Amino acid sequence: MLDIKIQKTTTPKAKPDENRLGFGNYYTDHMFVMDYTEGQGWHSPRIEPYHALSLDPAAMVFHYAQESFEGLKAYRTKEGKVQLFRPEKNGERLQSTHERLCIPTIPVEDFVQAVKTLVEVDRDWVPSAEGTSLYLRPFTIATEAHLGVKPSDSYQFLVIASPSGAYYEEGLNPVKIYVEDEYVRATPGGTGFIKCGGNYAASLAGQMKAHEMGYSQVLWLDGIERKYVEEVGSMNCFFKIDGVIRTAPCVGTVLPGITRMSCIELLRDWGYTVDCETRLSIEEVMQAARTGHLEEVFGTGTAAVVSPVGQLYYEGETAVIGGGKIGEVTQRLYDTLTGIQWGTLADEKGWVVPVE
Ligand code: COI
C-alpha cells in the first residue's frame, strides 16, 4: 500500500459549466505524482496542486517517446456516490505497456490506489450533468536527461483528471468513418496492442486526411495485407453481420479495450455469438453492406463509450449502415454499460469500484 502524501491547493479553480465541458478541456485542482529512480524503485507518491512540469529539455520522453498512458472515468451516481469502472483492468494494461516499452511496472493495487486517491481529493470535480464524468489520465514519462537511445533510468508516473462530456460532437448520432488504405497504424511485433503516445502520433496523418474529407475517424486495416479490419482511432470496432457480432482479435496489433472486453461479456450473456478470434476482411464487410447483411457497426472505448457508426467509406464506395440510426444492439450495450457506470442499473458483474 502506498503512503500517499497529500498537499492541497490553496487557490482552487472555478469549475467549468457542466453542460459545456466537451472532452479533455479542463483539469481539476490536483494531480498524483510518483517518481522512479534506478536503485530505489517507485517512490514518493503524492498528491500536489495541479501544476506545469519542469523537465530537462534532454528528458528522454521528448526524444525517444518512452511514454505510456491510460484512460478511465469516475462517475457520479444520482445518489451522489462516486465510482470507477474496472480500474484494475487499466492497471493490468498499463503493466503490459510498461513491459513492452522497458519502463518499470507499477503494481496494479498501487495504480488503483493512486487513481482512487486523486478522485477522493478532487471529488467535487466529478460532474453530475447527464453523460458527463471525470476522465482520468494516468501516464508515465521517461525523465532522464540523456540523448543515447536506451531505457531511461528515471521516470514520473502521474494522474491528471478532466471533467468531460461526450468524446464525439455527434454524441449518440452515428459517426462517419473513413477506411484507411494508405497509412498503417500497427504491424505485428510493434506496439499496436499497448497504449503509448507514439501510436496516436502515427495515426494523425490518416485522421487529418479523414477529417478533411468529412469523416470523424479512421478505421485501420492490418499493416501487412491492408485487408483485415483492426480498430478505429480511439475505439475498438464491432460489426454485426447476419446476427453474429464480430470484432478484430487482439493479437498484437489491436488494443485490448476494457469497454471492448465488457461488451463481449455482455453480448455473450445475452446469447449473441461473438467472434473475436477470426479476422474479418474489409471486403467481407463491404460485401455484407452491399447485400443488406451488415446490420450494425459500432465502436467501443472508454472515452467514446459505445458509438454507432453510420457510414463506412472504402476505396470510393460508401456503406450506409442502419439508415443513419443507432442499431438495437448498439443501443442496448450503451444503455447497459452506462447504466452500470452511472449506477442506474445493478452492477451484477462486480465491475464498479466505489470511491469513498
Ligand atoms: C480512451 O478511450 O480512454 C482513450 O484513451 C482514447 C483516446 C481519447 C485516445
Amino acid identity for residue 179 in this structure: V
- Give the pLDDT confidence of 19-73 residue by residue, as tens digits: 999 999 999 999 999 999 999 999 999 999 999 999 999 999 999 999 999 999 9
Q: What is the pLDDT of residue 171?
A: 78
Q: Is residue 68 within 8 Å of 92, Cβ to Cβ?
A: no
Between the CA atoms of 148, 151, 156 and 159, what dihedral angle is there, to the nearest 10 degrees? 120
* Cα separation, 122 vs 159, whole angstroms: 12
- Give the pLDDT confidence of 308-330 residue by residue, as tens digits: 999 999 999 999 998 889 999 99
Nearest CA to ligand 1 atom 5: 71
* Cα separation, 77 vs 355, whole angstroms: 11
Nearest CA to ligand 1 atom 9: 234
* Cα separation, 198 vs 117, whole angstroms: 28
Instruction: Give the start-end residues of each E strand in 7-126.
Output: 30-37, 41-49, 67-69, 72-76, 82-85
Q: Specify the ligand 1 atom closest to the Cα of 195.
A: 5
Joined together, the cell numbers standing for residue 151 give: 531505457
Which DSSP category does 16 fall into? P
Instruction: Give the start-end residues of each E strand in 24-153.
Output: 30-37, 41-49, 67-69, 72-76, 82-85, 133-142
* Cα separation, 127 vs 118, whole angstroms: 15
Nearest CA to ligand 1 atom 6: 234
* Cα separation, 13 vs 27, whole angstroms: 9
Using pLDDT thresholds of 50, 70 and 90, give the confidence band for residue 351.
very high
* Cα separation, 32 vs 310, whole angstroms: 39
Evaluate if residue 16 carries a pLDDT over 90: yes
Using pLDDT thresholds of 50, 70 and 90, give the confidence band for residue 87.
very high
CB count in 10 Å sphere of residue 208: 11
Q: What is the pLDDT of residue 212?
A: 96
Evaluate if residue 15 carries a pLDDT over 80: yes
Q: What is the pLDDT of residue 240?
A: 98
Q: Which of 133, 234, 261 to mutate to test the pocket of ligand 1 (most atoms within 8 A of CB)?
A: 234
* Cα separation, 248 vs 236, whole angstroms: 8
Q: What is the pLDDT of residue 172?
A: 83
- Give the pLDDT confidence of 137-166 residue by residue, as tens digits: 999 999 999 999 999 999 999 999 999 998
* Cα separation, 179 vs 187, whole angstroms: 17
* Cα separation, 4 vs 8, whole angstroms: 12
Using pLDDT thresholds of 50, 70 and 90, give the confidence band for residue 169.
confident
Question: Within a 13 Å sphere around the CA of 164, how many CA atoms are in the beta-carbon half?
Answer: 24
pTM: 0.96
Does residue 71 have its Cβ closer than 6 Å to ligand 1?
Answer: yes
Does residue 299 have its Cβ closer than 6 Å to ligand 1?
Answer: no
Q: What is the pLDDT of residue 355?
A: 97
Does residue 302 have its Cβ closer than 6 Å to ligand 1?
Answer: yes
Alpha-carbon separation of residue 30 from 39, 200, 349 (angstroms): 28, 26, 31
Q: Is residue 285 within 8 Å of 294, Cβ to Cβ?
A: yes
* Cα separation, 19 vs 26, whole angstroms: 13
Task: Give the H/E segment covering residue 202.
Answer: none
- Give the pLDDT confidence of 199-255 residue by residue, as tens digits: 999 999 999 999 999 999 999 999 999 999 999 988 999 999 999 999 999 989 999
* Cα separation, 18 vs 129, whole angstroms: 6
- Give distance in angstroms: CA of 238 to centre of ligand 1: 17
Q: Specify the ligand 1 atom closest to the Cα of 259.
A: 2
Mean pLDDT of the chain: 96
- Tally DSSP H helices, then E strands, for the chain: 8, 18
* Cα torsion 162, 163, 165, 169: sign: negative
Q: Specify the ligand 1 atom closest to the Cα of 72.
A: 3
- Give distance in angstroms: CA of 195 to centre of ligand 1: 9
- Give the pLDDT confidence of 108-142 residue by residue, as tens digits: 999 999 999 999 999 999 999 999 999 999 999 99
Q: Specify the ligand 1 atom closest to the Cα of 233.
A: 9
